[in-house]
Structure 1
Amino acid sequence: MTYLHQFLEEMTASRKMTRSTLHAYEGDLRDFYHFFKDQPVENVAFPDIQNYLLTQKHLAPSTVARRLSSLRQFYTFLIANGKIKENPFSFVRMTPYKSKLAPLANPEDVTRLLEGAQGANSAEGKRLSVLLQILYISDMSVNDLVSLPLAVGLVVSKGRKKFLTFHKNNLIVPLTKAAHDSLQAYMKVRNHFLIRNQESPWLFPSSSQKGHLTRQRFGQLLKELSLKMKLDPVDNSLYNFRYNLRKNKELERNFGDD
């Protein structure tokens, strides 16, 4: 799999890709290699690809679209390195994938989710409330949010600051009263999430391999809240929630009171 490793190294070096996207591309290519384990990938032709695609029918259209994209790019890499002369995937055509992203922002859903989390009395509810409040007021990525260090929360909870300072990206997030109150409330129950009462360097500790709440688990919690609030969990997935927040901010800038 020398070509695969070289391709992934080049993708890492030349493209601003998230780790999850890179892992997805690697999984796509390993699946392809496994299918053609008795045939060198540089000898794969269009008829072979047709047979391969027949085995992909059970996958979601979005997954197939991403897989085709990663394979096209892989074969473009092989051409650039003189291993093949033409890209067999250039002959593949697929019905355009229609994204499930909400086409318009839904301020009411965002507000209901914030209020629903804020009204929860459990430790899990208080954690979700502060996560959503910080997302709401900042442009912080979800990965950065779930991996905030404990020191960030301690400074705020002791009343010394009314903003988050995240030195990793030189990011300063002024806290609204709702966000500040949510963080204060969460810090009082944070010990609930410690594993065997062992202290953690993370603001949002968990039993995950990373030691902190993961993006995936955050997405699951948001889905559970959406169902509880009788909202569509697809329209209010973590990705769409971020999308709606951005759209809401654009609407406020473009159509707000002068």
Structure 2
Amino acid sequence: MGAFHPLIEAFLSDLARAGRSPRTLAGYRKDLADFAAWMEGRYGEAFDPKAVLPEDLRDYRQYLLAVRRAAPATINRRVSALRAFFAFLAARGEIPSNPAARLPGVRQARAAPKALSEAELRRLLREARRSSNPLHRAVILLLAHTGLRASELCALRLSDVALSERKGKVVVRGKGEKVREVPLNAEAREALREWLSVRPAASDDALFVGRRGRLTPSGVWRIVRECARRAGVEAHPHVLRHTFATRLLREAGADLVTVAEILGHESLNTTARYTRPSEADLEAAVERLG
């Protein structure tokens, strides 16, 4: 099947080396497998990425839209996967140019990013505090109280942490090598102190290390997903980032500029997504009419 075409496997391996999460890799694999199966049905022969034309991609997009009646988010995700895959092939010299470069997505109303409810967050944090592993406790509590990306968390060094009795911060190297300082609240400071007291000696100066060395983004995902499973909620590192941002705006009353600075957003438009009502907000508003 096309899902196992060697060029697709090479693309996925390249993403894995770049630190992309297992969930992202599984999504790319599924989306590319669907396109490969569609191409094989269209031409009645084995999928060959090098033979794909811009017309094929446009027809596939129209098929998703008109025949499958796929949601705009699904179509846009698959368009993104195809752009990335063919850009990889073009960069490797497998094809002369990217046939998906100008493939348009589908316009959609942007909802607020998924965030945990107050009850879900309480259950997750309670489960994290009960963990017997100080590394796991520190990772989850730091993500929940700082909104760091998994990659940013893994890039932290011992020298990036400043702790005192009443204050604390971490120096974060975000996208584009931009540096920002993120304050730590009392619970995040306590979790970090506990971790630092038991952190194993290592030649690597990474803040978070284990028996196999520096913690990786995929390792962070596993820690969060396992704790969330035990707590009976659905969460991953980016959900914790969204939850943190939503709480800053709605509960703490922080302004967009402050939240953008803490999260490392270049544009206030990105931060403004968190002010949009969620599906639960809309349902609650309509329910109140009854």
Q: Same fold (TM over 0.5)?
A: yes
The separation in 1 between residues aligned to 2:28 and 2:215, in whole angstroms, is 24
Counterparts in 2 of 1:72 and 1:139: CA distance versus 1, 3 Å: closer
The separation in 2 between residues aligned to 1:167 and 1:38, in whole angstroms, is 39
Gaps of 5+ in 2: 1-6, 12-17, 41-45, 91-95, 255-290
Contact 1:164/1:173 (<8 A) preserved: yes
Contact 2:156/2:172 (<8 A) preserved: no
The separation in 2 between residues aligned to 1:142 and 1:86, in whole angstroms, is 29
Percent identical among aligned pairs is 20
Q: Does 2:154 align with 1:138? A: no
1:1-258 matches, within 5 Å, as: 20=20, 36-37=47-48, 40-42=51-53, 45=56, 65-71=76-82, 102=114, 105-120=116-131, 122=132, 124=133, 126-153=134-161, 156=163, 162-166=167-171, 168=173, 169-191=178-200, 198-206=202-210, 211-229=213-231, 231-232=232-233, 234=234, 236-254=235-253
Gaps of 5+ in 1: 9-17, 192-196
Tell me how far 1:166 sits from its aligned partner: 1.4
Taking only aligned residues, the RMSD between alpha carbons, in angstroms, comes to: 5.1
The separation in 1 between residues aligned to 2:143 and 2:181, in whole angstroms, is 13
The separation in 2 between residues aligned to 1:137 and 1:198, in whole angstroms, is 26
Which digits, 9 at most, give the CA deviation of each residue in 1:132-170, with x for residues without a partner? 2322332432211122112234x53xx599423416343
The separation in 1 between residues aligned to 2:140 and 2:98, in whole angstroms, is 49
The separation in 2 between residues aligned to 1:145 and 1:176, in whole angstroms, is 16
Contact 2:57/2:103 (<8 A) preserved: yes
2:181 match: secondary structure = strand
| 2:214 partner letter | H
The separation in 2 between residues aligned to 1:189 and 1:88, in whole angstroms, is 52
Count of residue pairs the alignment pairs up = 207
1:135 match: secondary structure = helix
Contact 2:154/2:214 (<8 A) preserved: yes
Contact 1:149/1:201 (<8 A) preserved: yes
The TM-score, its normalising length taken from structure 2, stands at: 0.51
The separation in 1 between residues aligned to 2:241 and 2:100, in whole angstroms, is 40
The TM-score, its normalising length taken from structure 1, stands at: 0.56
1:223 match: secondary structure = helix
Contact 2:160/2:171 (<8 A) preserved: yes
The separation in 2 between residues aligned to 1:178 and 1:43, in whole angstroms, is 53
2:136 match: secondary structure = helix
